[in-house]
Amino acid sequence: MSNFAEQCGIHDATRQRALEQTESLIATCGIELVRFAWCDLHGTLRGKTLVASAAAKAMQGGVGMVSTLLLKDSSDRTAFKVFEAGGTSELPGFEFASNLLLLADPASFRQLPWTTATGWVQGQPWMQDGSAVELDTRRILQRALARLADAGYGMKCGLEIEFHIYKITGDSAGDQLDPELAAWPGPAPKVAMIHPGYNLLSEQWFDMAEEPLRIVQYTAQALGLPLQSLEIELGPSQVEAVFDATDALTAADNMVLFRSAVKQALRRAGYHATFMCRPPFPNIMSSGWHLHQSLVDPETGANLFQREASAPGTQATDAQYTLSSVGEHYLAGLLAHARGMTVFCTPTINGFGRFRPNALAPQSVLWGRDNRGAMLRVVGQPGDGATRIENRIGEPAANPYLYLASQIHAGLDGITRQLKAPAATDAPYGEAATRIPTSLDEALAALQTDPVLVQAFGETFINYFTRIKQAEITRHEQAVDKDDWQRREYFSRI
C-alpha cells in the first residue's frame, strides 16, 4: 500500500534519499523533537511538534491539522462560519473544521540553534484525498513560478528587511503572561529601545545594539540563511538585514524562516523583535521590505534584465538605457498593476502609514533610476551583471509567497502585452502621478478591480483573501481604542 506522500504524487527517489538522510541526522544529532512548520495566510509559521521517533513516519503519512488554520484573520478568529450550513460553500473541504494533512519536505530539515535537540521541517497542507490545498500561499507562488517557467524565465530575488528590536523591560514576559490581563489578542510586552536612532549607520549605535544583532547573526547563519549584512537604520531601535539573492522560492522560504527564528531567539534573550511596519510609539520610522528582483535564463542563470550597452538613442530616463526590452516590459507590468498588487505587498492596516512624502518610502506609482523615493527603483549599469528592479512598496509583515507571486503575474502581463514604461521620475513626491492606495480597504478594492490579477490568482482565492482581510478591517473599525488594537493585533504578534 502506498503512503500518503506517494498518494499526493510528491514522493520519488530524490525525496526518499532526503528522507533517509534526515532520519540519519535526527539519530546522529540527538534530536528529541521535530517541529513541522507551515506558513499561514499572514506569513506566520504554525505547526505541530513531534517526538523524534514519530518524525520520519509523519513525513510520509502526514500530520493532521485543523482546516480552520487557513481561515483565520490576523487575530486568530475564524472568518468563515464553518459550523453553519453553507458557511464554507465556496471552499469545499473546509466545512465543520475538518482535517487537512501537513506533509513536510525532508530536505528542509534544520536543527534549531536557539533551543536544544530540536529539528525543524517545512511543510505544506494537503486534502485528505491527496489533492492539493489550492489556498496554501506557498502553492500560490509555486503556480506563479510554473507559469513563469512556461514563459521561459526563472526569477532571482534579494531581500532587504527593515525591522525593530526592543529590550523587554521588567520580567521576561511582562503583561503578556499575566492571567488577569489575558484577552484575545493579549497585551503587548513592555519594552525599551536598543539604540536611540536618528543617526543612520552609526557605528556607536551598532556597538550599543551589538548583543541582539549578534543573536540575529548567529541565528541566521546557523540556519544556513544567506545573510550579507546587519545595519543600523534611521529610526529609534530600527535595524536592517540584507540577504544575498537566491531563486524566488528559496527567498520566500528564507523570509518566513528568518522572521520566525529571530523572534524566538531574541525572545529567549529578553528582546522583542517586531516586523510591524510602524510600532506603536510616537517617534519611530516605518520599516519597509525592499524586494530586489530580476528574471534569469533558467538554463544558464544569465540575467535577462541586463544590457551590455544602452539601447541606441536612449537617455538615462528611458527604461532601455539600463534594462533589456524584457526588463522594460516587466517594469511596465509592475507599474500597470501597482495599485492592485499593493495589498499583497502591504497587507496590514498599519503598513499604509508608511506611504508619505520624503520618507524614503513611495507615495506614487512611478519608477526611478537609482531613486529611493520612487516605488520601483531600477538598479545597475549596462554590463555590470547586477541589473535589477527594486520594489519599495512592501512592508516586512507581508506574506512573501503572495508578495512574490504578485510581482510575477504583474510582470508577465507586461511582457505578454509588451508594455512600454514611461520616463523615469525625478520628482517621486510630485502631484501628477497615480497614488498608491492609502488604506487596506482601498487596496482591497484596487485588487478586486484588476482583472489580470484576479484571473492570475484565481477568483476563489481573491474572494477568500478579501473576506479574511475585511474581517481585520471591520474589527479595527469597531475598536474603541485603535492604538491599543494595533499594539495587540500587530506589535505583540508580528
Q: How many other C-beta atoms can be found within 10 angstroms of the C-beta atom of residue 11? A: 19
Torsion of CA 275, 280, 282, 284, to 10 degrees: 0
Contact 262, 153 (CB under 8 A): no
Per CATH, domain 4-133 is 3.60.20.10? no
Rounded distance between C-alpha atoms, residue 341 and residue 338, angstroms: 5
Question: How high is the pLDDT of residue 173?
Answer: 55
Question: How high is the pLDDT of residue 171?
Answer: 57
Low-confidence ranges of the chain (pLDDT < 70): 1, 170-174
Q: Where in the chain is the domain with CATH 3.30.590.10?
A: 146-491
Rounded distance between C-alpha atoms, residue 133 and residue 186, angstroms: 31
Give the position of cell 536612532: 197
Give 191's strand partners: 168
Which cell numbers in the block locate residue 112?
534549531
Check whether the bond before 185 is cis (ω within 30° of 0).
Answer: yes
Residue 295 one-letter amino acid: L
Question: How high is the pLDDT of residue 392?
Answer: 95
Contact 219, 115 (CB under 8 A): no
| Model confidence, pTM | 0.96
Rounded distance between C-alpha atoms, residue 274 and residue 163, angstroms: 6
Question: How high is the pLDDT of residue 180?
Answer: 84
Domain spanning 146-491, CATH class: alpha beta
Question: How high is the pLDDT of residue 381?
Answer: 86
Give the position of cell 509523519: 58
Q: Where in the chain is the domain with CATH 3.10.20.70?
A: 4-133
Rounded distance between C-alpha atoms, residue 355 and residue 368, angstroms: 17
Question: How high is the pLDDT of residue 174?
Answer: 61
* Element (DSSP H or E) covering residue 231: strand 227-232
Angle, CA of 341, 347 and 351, to the nearest 5°: 110
Which cell numbers in the block locate residue 58?
509523519
Rounded distance between C-alpha atoms, residue 415 and residue 419, angstroms: 7
Question: How high is the pLDDT of residue 176?
Answer: 80
